[in-house]
Amino acid sequence: MAKVIADAGVACCLMHNRDNTDYTDFLNDVYNDLQESIDIALAAGIAKDKIMTDPGVGFAKTYEQNLDIIKHMEILDGLGFPVLLGTSRKSVIGLTLDLPASERVEGTLVTTVLGVQKNALFVRVHDIKANYRAVKMAEALKY
């Protein structure tokens, strides 16, 4: 896939994922796994300005690990690439608030604001208008 992306000259999002939730040192393992993906992308010829990363909330992570990566996602700044946070309506919000996916707007807004505060440049959301407003407010308070 990396070669196809490089040949097409398009942007890509490198999302963290694994086959299991077995980690030695969770936050460092996520960081190192993403660094490995970046190395593969660069070796294939994907331009640096075409890469973003995603901590992979909801993928190969326990409930506690999902909370941990959201709380500490600023560690990904060290990779040197923009970060996308995709938490919209995710199970971690549902489990925390005991709500079905259709009622997770407020929980998503909190994670969106936290993401902005922790340097995410992109968010993937379902409820665009509410999240756009939350991002604007979070950005105004950030600096």
Instruction: Return the active site residues.
Output: 90, 124
137-141: Cβ within 8 A, 24+ apart: 137/113, 138/112, 138/113
According to DSSP, residue 119 is labeled T
Report the alpha-carbon distance of residue 65 to residue 60 in Å, rounded.
9
**Considering only CA atoms, which of 94, 89, 143 is closest in space to residue 116?**
143
The per-residue b/e assignment along 116-127, b for 16 or more CB within 10 angstroms, e otherwise, is bebebeebebeb
Place of tokens 């105004």: 140
